[in-house]
Amino acid sequence: MKAALTRALLHPAAKVLLFLLCLGPLAWLVYGAFANQLGANPAEALIRRLGDWTLRGLWLTLAITPLRELTGLAALARFRRMLGVFTFSYATLHLMAYSWLDQGLDFAVIATDIAKRPFILMGFTAWALMLPLAATSFNRAIKALGAKRWQALHKAIYAISVIALMHFIWMRAGKHNFAEPAVYGVILAALLGWRLWKRFSRK
């Protein structure tokens, strides 16, 4: 069973399938926007759903290492970079949708909004921290930085995930809706807690 799963994960079509799966939510949102299927406030729906998929991408990227170690399927590691790039793409689209649909690309207003509203500041900070990770997500960058420095840089995903969760919690706090952020929080606590447990158990 494990050998068959490994062969499937190593098959060239596996990355193509993952690419299509990652593209699926965006395709659905584009269709929904053009078909007027996003509800009474399509701009808000588009911004929020792009944000939701950014969080899901972050959590899935973080889940690769524990899944790889718990299942013994080392081939899972080959999908982490693609998931990370797609996560950054959704985060960028989320930021662009907010800047364009919510603020009309008025950069002075956007800057004021970032300074005044903590949840906007947290969201922008998370995106800014993701930028160097996306910029160094190709083989030539890894070679230029060296494996150790590249790995150290990409550990910023832990801080990014916490900041992104804070952005989500503060955004929902305005409507006193904490149920969904709590679910994301529990999952993140499990993903980061597993890493801490592994680190201390090795010591």
pLDDT in tens, 62-76: 999 999 999 999 999
Residue range of the domain that includes 39 = 2-202
- The Cα–Cα gap between 33 and 62 comes to 30
Q: What are phi and psi of 161, to 5 degrees?
A: -65, -40
Name the domain count of the chain.
1
* Residue with the two structure tokens 């890894």: 142
CB 53 within 8 A of CB 79: no
Q: How many helices (H) and strands (E) does the chain have?
A: 10, 0
pLDDT in tens, 101-142: 999 999 999 999 999 999 999 999 999 999 999 999 888 888
